Structure 1
Amino acid sequence: MSGRTRRVHPVVVRVGTTRLFLWLAPHLLPRVDRAAHRLTGGRWIPSRLFLPSVLLTTTGHRSGRPHITPLCAYRYTDGSWLVVATNFGRAHQPDWSTNLRHRPEATVTCGGRTHQVIAHRLSPAAQRAERARILAILPLYDHYAARAGDRGIRVFHLVPRGGGSPD
């Protein structure tokens, strides 16, 4: 596996499956990350302490307004990213993944730099091929997939616009 992703600490995996975390995290973590992002001028989000994370800005498919979402992300050496729409295993798809399905142009902010990307949804076969990378960024994937049930989990490859590396 090539890429720039560090291992996730086992404590994060244990905490990430608790009832309290699964109830609180979807509401609290994105707000904290967005606030820290604003306060640090886009250089840092707290989630990066625990998981490899970026901020994804999508365009609302109905509203046309920008929406910023902190996400776990695997960064490939070519400068593209892999993101997984687990939504903590909740019953509905996360809004950001629906936005990408309708408007695949987005931006990724990582380390204070913003990159224009195009989202490509992976097929089930491609998702299986990327399993090692998915588990590298989100060891809780199987737990969240089981909770999500029949809705399935969308996985996207975010490719820099123009095909070149963003660095």
Structure 2
Amino acid sequence: MDDPSKLDPTTPATSRPPRIPPRWFVRTAWVVHRGLYRATRGRRGLWAARPERWGAMQLTTTGRRTGRERAVIVAYFEDGPNLVTLAMNGWAEPEPAWWLNLLADPEARVMLPTGPREVRAHAATGVERERLWAAWRTFGDDVDGLAARRTRETAVVVLEPR
């Protein structure tokens, strides 16, 4: 992928992509987060999105190879009745398994702090993607810098109520 500083003339040539913790640390954090959620029977580990901060929800998909339910905790924000998340894998190169599962079967279930919801997923494109990506920028995370670390575009996933 091209150097982001060459693509955007407002980016200083000396800027570097944001630092990402080692993969082992990211994976350990995921395991601990899921463990906390399970150990507290869902009382801890999820939080509601607010206008100034994203929330955390549990997303349950159907495994594309096994057909079994697979649950992950992902960040989200609300866009009207829809929930929006990013198909990132700790900003690592491969697509997250949950996104590949949704591509195979877009029907899913989410658990929010306010309760469960049945959803249908699609990738935002065009103007919708630009608008939602801009919304992610407002939360203070350097999503542009983090996404520049990947060779593929990070999908913006819209979960519509069923």
Amino acid in the other structure paired with 1:69 = V
CA RMSD of aligned residues (A): 2.3
Match of 2:102 in 1: 100
Match of 2:12 in 1: none
Aligned length: 141
Higher relative contact order (CA 8 A, sep 6+): 1
- After TM superposition, which residue ranges in structure 1, 4 or more long, deviate above 3 angstroms? none
C-alpha distance after superposition, 1:122-157 (max 9, x if no partner): 1143211212322245723112211112x2111111
Conserved in 2, the CA contact under 8 Å of 1:106 and 1:118? Answer: yes
Alpha-carbon distance in 2 for matches of 1:61, 1:72 = 22
TM-score (norm 2): 0.76
Match of 2:7 in 1: none
Aligned CA distance change for structure 1 residues 101 and 37 (closer, same or farther; 3 Å): same
Match of 2:129 in 1: 127
Query: Unmatched 5+ residue regions in structure 2?
Result: 1-17
Conserved in 1, the CA contact under 8 Å of 2:108 and 2:118? Answer: yes
**Is structure 2 residue 77 aligned with structure 1 residue 74?**
yes
Equivalent position to 1:55, from 52, 55, 58: 58
Alpha-carbon distance in 2 for matches of 1:140, 1:47 = 21
Identity of aligned residues (%): 26
Query: Unmatched 5+ residue regions in structure 1?
Result: 1-16, 162-167
Conserved in 2, the CA contact under 8 Å of 1:89 and 1:148? Answer: yes
Match of 1:65 in 2: 68
Q: More helix per residue: 1 or 2? A: 1
Conserved in 2, the CA contact under 8 Å of 1:72 and 1:138? Answer: no
Superposed, 1:82-161 pairs within 5 Å as 82-111=84-113, 113-137=115-139, 139-149=141-151, 151-161=152-162
Alpha-carbon distance in 2 for matches of 1:55, 1:116 = 12
Alpha-carbon distance in 1 for matches of 2:46, 2:112 = 12
TM-score (norm 1): 0.74
